[in-house]
Amino acid sequence: MDLYQQIFENNKKWIADKKATNKEFFTQLAEGQNPDILYIGCSDSRVTAEEMTGVAPGQMFVHRNVANLVPNNDNNSASVVLYAVNHLKVKQIVVCGHYFCGGIKAAMQAQDLGILNPWLRSIRDVYRTHKTELNQIQDENIKYNRLVELNVQEQCINIVKMACWQKSFLTNGGPEVHGWVFDVESGELIDLKIDIDTILEDIREIYDLGTTK
């Protein structure tokens, strides 16, 4: 049996397992969702949000794309954030990158990648902003992994720039924004402990959309 067919067999087993422990499991799922966390991660097949965090269905609203970006010209990720903040009322927003990210590495190659060029340019802009620090790192793997961390930080900043987040922050002080990195070599989930309050103060003069007035 190939993987495609195996998926449907896995699904049947999953349904049976869930009903064995809770007969109302799917009825309860159908009633709606009330997640506490919005998770924005990479599309990489090695990194699955639910498995590495151990959360149950309904606890985490998930959005994934190449290199976990939240660029200002992407209606997809912007719609996800707005829906999570305004309608789901999530308490936490997490941007999670991972070491040895193919999207990060591709962005640093001097080559034309066609339709990927405008998407990956967001990562190149992060490199440009932190060029002095990154160019001092001699080991290429360490450099790329540091760029993974800086890219996560920049996407957290992009969320803080958004009107829906600023309005929510003014109203109830949230949701909190966090930056994580998943280490694919160890399986460890790392909290980068990004100081959003300090970042907000640093950028308020430029990116305040009038929501605090």
What amino acid positions are annotated as catalytic residues? 42, 44, 46, 98, 101
Which is nearest to 38 in space by CA: 119, 147, 156? Answer: 156
With the C-alpha atoms ordered 192, 165, 69, 56, is the resulting torsion angle positive or negative? positive
Question: How far is the C-alpha of 201 from the C-alpha of 89, rounded, in Å?
Answer: 24
CB 122 within 8 A of CB 71: yes
Write the CA distances from 36 to 49, 83, 162, 197, integer angstroms.
14, 13, 19, 21
Q: Tokens 């954030």 correspond to what residue?
A: 81
Give the single-character DSSP code of 175: -
Burial group, residue 89, by CB count within 10 angstroms (0-12, 13-18, 19+)? middle
Cβ proximity of 199 and 156 under 8 Å: yes
